[in-house]
Structure 1
Amino acid sequence: MLCRATCISLAGMFLAASTGAEARSDSQIWGTASANFKFSDSWRLSEELVTRFSDNRNGLYEIEATTMLNYKVAKDVTLAAGYVHNPQYASGDFTVMERRAREQVTFDNVAKLGRGKLSARLRLEQRWREHIDGTGWRLRPYVKYSLPFAGKAAVNFSSETFFNLNSTSFQRQKGLDRVRNLVSISGPLSTKVNAEVGYMNQHGFVRGGPDSSDNIAYLGLSANF
């Protein structure tokens, strides 16, 4: 399953790159702040807050607040499950509340390629929107390659593919939905805090119309306790 998810995510990355010239574009800024609290060698709680701003949507359009409980089942394998609180906006005004259940398995150090390391994650989500019927099921395979340089800093290349497993009134398109490709540089700000900055392209596949292509400035901070 891991090999298949990795291949699917990489295939989505190349497909997005090959069709980007035909897409409708948007400029965005995404900010992420996360904190990880280690309870034991096996158990960890993670909290994450994501804010997203768009030119085409006139400012703030989405907030994601996520709580996940993580359990390490092996040295490089972690299971996790949690909840995503996802209010959405138009021109800064609230439009709809989305709630998600999320389950995932993460594989660290899948392979060593040169001086860098490959990791992967397989994420499953169930989505609900207030006052709208239906449950949207979505699968998100993710791969990341990190290459260290200058001590503890690293350059990172990642790709995440979104597959809608069904369709609802708000998740209208079944199958391949979008691909997020990120190139970033990360490094420690202190012994507990890490920073990441980079460029992301989010390519949306639209049946019966032009695709979308979001050009995103990505900023992230993470802390470990």
Structure 2
Amino acid sequence: MALAVAGTAQARDDAQGWAAATVNVDLGGGFRASNETVLRFSDIRGGLYEVEDNLMVGYKPNKQVTLWLGYTHNPQYDHGDFTRMEHRFRQQVNVDNFAQIGGIKFSGRVRLEERWREGQGGPAWRLRPFIKASMPVAGKVNLVASHESFIDLNTSAFQRVRGEERMRNFVGLSAPLSKKLGIEAGYLLQHGFVRGAADNHDHVFSVALTGNF
């Protein structure tokens, strides 16, 4: 029994790989369209476990601020088997280069999501504040670091506890591949808060391509 209790108290550590591709299109008149696709792979879940497709329309009232509305289509899997479908309505505000300390530039985002899962209802409301620092290190290569918190605002059939559910901390490098294409890659630690037990950790190699047209 002591061994069993000790086993349940251990944190879950998972090795993961995330790949993302984003296309941003200038529609003119301050309007923009964006499509982001994210594939997530997990050692514990036996390969591909999540696909996120995010389609958004934004309006840029000035050089720093962009207002976005969008929809997320999010099928999830476990060892190759489909487990659930999640739908999200997304609203967010992006602020670019809102502060600078020496050569370090700061940008941020506040995202509000309403989530529904087929067969489990909703909505589950979630707030996701995000901050990112960027500093040039060699030529056009930048060292980047970011933090994002996931804060559950209510409870539902699948969102059980209010408050901070998890956080993501990232450090990596970004660089342009061409005038319109850029890459960002590095290490991301996803820390999951577990009430009454040890917290979980996902150790992620993350790579993202972004095209601006």
TM-score normalised to structure 1 length: 0.88
Distance 1:201 1:116, change over 3 A: same
1:37 aligns with 2:37: no
What per-residue deviation string (whole Å, max 9, x for no partner) do you get for residues 112-163 of structure 1? 0111200110000000001112210000000000001222211100000000
Offset, 1:215 = 0.3
Aligned to 2:178: 190
Code of the aligned partner of 1:204: G
Match of 1:214 among 202, 206, 209: 202
Output the CA distance in 2 between the equivalents of 1:31 and 1:178. Answer: 20
Output the CA distance in 2 between the equivalents of 1:51 and 1:144. Answer: 22
Aligned to 1:71: 59
Q: What does 1:1-225 align with in structure 2 at a 5 Å threshold?
A: 23-40=11-28, 42-225=30-213
Aligned to 2:3: none
Output the CA distance in 2 between the equivalents of 1:220 and 1:83. Answer: 20
Based on CA coordinates, which of the two structures has the bigger radius of gyration? Answer: 2
The alignment yields a C-alpha RMSD, in angstroms, of 1.0
Code of the aligned partner of 1:164: D
Output the CA distance in 1 between the equivalents of 2:121 and 2:84. Answer: 13
Code of the aligned partner of 2:94: T
What per-residue deviation string (whole Å, max 9, x for no partner) do you get for residues 62-104 of structure 1? 0000001010122211100100000000002111100000000
SS at match of 2:171: strand
Code of the aligned partner of 2:47: G
- Structure having the larger proportion of residues in helix: 1
How many residue pairs get aligned? The number is 204
Code of the aligned partner of 1:159: H
Code of the aligned partner of 2:134: S
Gaps (5+ residues) in structure 2?
1-9
Gaps (5+ residues) in structure 1?
1-21
Offset, 1:28 = 0.2
Output the CA distance in 1 between the equivalents of 2:65 and 2:81. Answer: 40
What per-residue deviation string (whole Å, max 9, x for no partner) do you get for residues 160-214 of structure 1? 0000000111111211100000101010111111011100000000001111010
Code of the aligned partner of 2:80: G
SS at match of 1:74: coil
